[in-house]
Amino acid sequence: MTRNEMTRWETFAGRQRRQDVLENAELTHVGPGTPCGEYLRRVWQPVALSSELGDLPLKRRLLGEDLVLFRTKNGALGLLDHRCCHRGTSLEFGVVTDVGISCCYHGWHYGIDGTILETPNDPTSCLKGTLRSTAYPTHEFKGIIFAYMGSPADVPEFPILDVWQEPDTEMIPYSYHYPCNWLQIQENSQDPIHAVFLHTRSSGAQFSESQGAVPELDFVETPIGLIYVSTRRWKSNVHVRTVEVIMPNLTQGGAIWESAEDGKYFQRGSGTSWKVAIDDKNTQVIGWRFFNDRVDPDGRGDKNRIGKDMVDSFGQLADDRPYEEHQRVPGDYDAMTSQRPIAVHALENLQSSDRGVVRFRRMVRQGIKAAKTGKQIVAPRASADGVVPTYTQDTVLPVALALKNDQLLVREIGRQIAEINLKSAQFGSSRRAQEFARMVRELGY
């Protein structure tokens, strides 16, 4: 090799990055006894869509535990360890009864609370009164079945979010799988800059052209989590979007196809979803899409494409298009799952636009510490009217382009709207939108 050829290749780094760095186990491992696993067990987690559960038991894996979900003939829900306590046969092959489920192998009969009701292979056995299976409380709401896997002495009230009571709103449940860790999916919702590139500039506008305008960014903690404040100039308007994480693994998304062309105050979002950790390397996204004339005035949503393994938002699924089309026009699924089954934080090179990701990870660490010490974690809490105020919204204001320092003007509007968003929660669900609009109008824009 000549000297010129050697010089030519000297700029190629080769394999310089360390390959022996492990994932951040504290934040990503979710099995029983793990720090994050015990933290996630402190809130209600979705298990399945109601439509998935028929007259047969449904095997489910949740937070590293293999479980069986069933509905008794009397209509009660049960969620038990899938192994029979006798000799380990899976209760997914069990016989559902009026009050519980019986193992197919020797007939051991379990109630929905894990109590052993009968041991018919040995009717005189004393085990019936001294042994019980692992069982978890359940709750069914608007087509989704939830479970609480924490201490039975600390079962929280199931939270009702304000957006679930929006007038004239239809909530359609859906569920789909991601073969990667829950954290990298959840923290995507606090990475608003990705919408500029992944959803707009890299391969054309997947949702709206206005998302291609680089926004001013801020990240603000709320009583229940974290919001990003994305404020962008779009033509003669300023669009302020706040999207939230509700700790630890719930997300509220903004209007999917918001064009930022028309003025509006406090438009609520397009859906609620949980990033449910199946285990360390698999996640089930479960939630509702919201349909009303406010969030989708052009009727671009498709109710027929929402359900099990289906959602009408572009780029969320593995098999919605041929692989080559995923390469040409990648979506969220491709960006998040390709980070590795568990993203390795030590190999990242974060920038200022990643402030939301950094803060969210810090809040997860704080939640883990609180759960370890028995303190109250940040999670949905009802206000005086019995519902949980949430903070996802879009506001579009007609604001003339400033001849000087328009960027500073846009940033200041975002800060002011964020403050009003937080302050407006005190007025309760019935008055909040009205008071929000009043306070924005008082700004004089």
pLDDT (tens digit, 9 = 90+) per residue, 310-332?
999 999 999 999 999 999 999 99
- Supply the pLDDT for residue 3: 62
Residue 292's pLDDT band, with cuts at 50, 70 and 90, is very high
171/3: higher pLDDT: 171
Across the range 337-344, mean pLDDT stands at 98
- Supply the pLDDT for residue 383: 82
- Supply the pLDDT for residue 1: 58
Residues of the chain above pLDDT 90, percent: 88
CATH of 162-441, one of 3.90.380.10, 1.20.120.1200, 3.50.50.60, 3.40.50.150: 3.90.380.10
At 262, which amino acid appears?
D
The rounded distance, in Å, linking the Cα atoms of 425 and 433 is 9
Mean pLDDT of the chain: 95
pLDDT exceeds 90 at position 14 = no
pLDDT in tens, 145-187: 999 999 999 999 999 999 999 999 999 999 999 999 999 999 9
Residue 127 · residue 117 · CB < 8 Å: no
Token reading at 333:
């699924």
Going from N- to C-terminal start, the domains of the chain cover 49-147, 162-441
End-to-end CA distance of the chain: 68
pLDDT exceeds 80 at position 197 = yes
- Supply the pLDDT for residue 348: 95
pLDDT exceeds 90 at position 72 = yes
pTM strictly above 0.85 = yes
Token reading at 429:
């669900």
At 21, which amino acid appears?
V
- Supply the pLDDT for residue 124: 86
pLDDT in tens, 362-407: 999 999 999 999 999 999 988 888 899 999 999 999 999 998 899 9
The rounded distance, in Å, linking the Cα atoms of 63 and 177 is 14
- Supply the pLDDT for residue 69: 98
The rounded distance, in Å, linking the Cα atoms of 435 and 423 is 9
pLDDT in tens, 99-146: 999 999 999 999 999 999 999 999 888 888 789 999 999 999 999 999
pLDDT exceeds 90 at position 215 = yes
The rounded distance, in Å, linking the Cα atoms of 190 and 227 is 7
Residue 7's pLDDT band, with cuts at 50, 70 and 90, is low
Residue 232 · residue 260 · CB < 8 Å: yes
Across the range 413-424, mean pLDDT stands at 98
Residues sharing a CB contact under 8 Å with residue 164, sequence separation 6 or more, in sequence order: 142, 171, 272, 288, 387
- Supply the pLDDT for residue 418: 98
- Supply the pLDDT for residue 4: 65
3-state per-residue secondary structure call for 266-327: EECCCEEEEEEEEECCEEEEEEEEEECCCCCCCCCCCHHHCEECECCCCCCCCCCCCHHHHH
- Supply the pLDDT for residue 68: 98
- Supply the pLDDT for residue 21: 87
Residue 345 neighbours by CB distance under 10 Å: 18
pLDDT exceeds 90 at position 60 = yes
CATH of 49-147, one of 2.102.10.10, 3.40.120.10, 3.30.1130.10, 1.10.150.20: 2.102.10.10
The rounded distance, in Å, linking the Cα atoms of 13 and 429 is 57
pLDDT in tens, 238-262: 999 999 999 999 999 999 999 999 9
Across the range 72-97, mean pLDDT stands at 98
- Supply the pLDDT for residue 318: 95
Residue 12's pLDDT band, with cuts at 50, 70 and 90, is confident
Residue 416's pLDDT band, with cuts at 50, 70 and 90, is very high
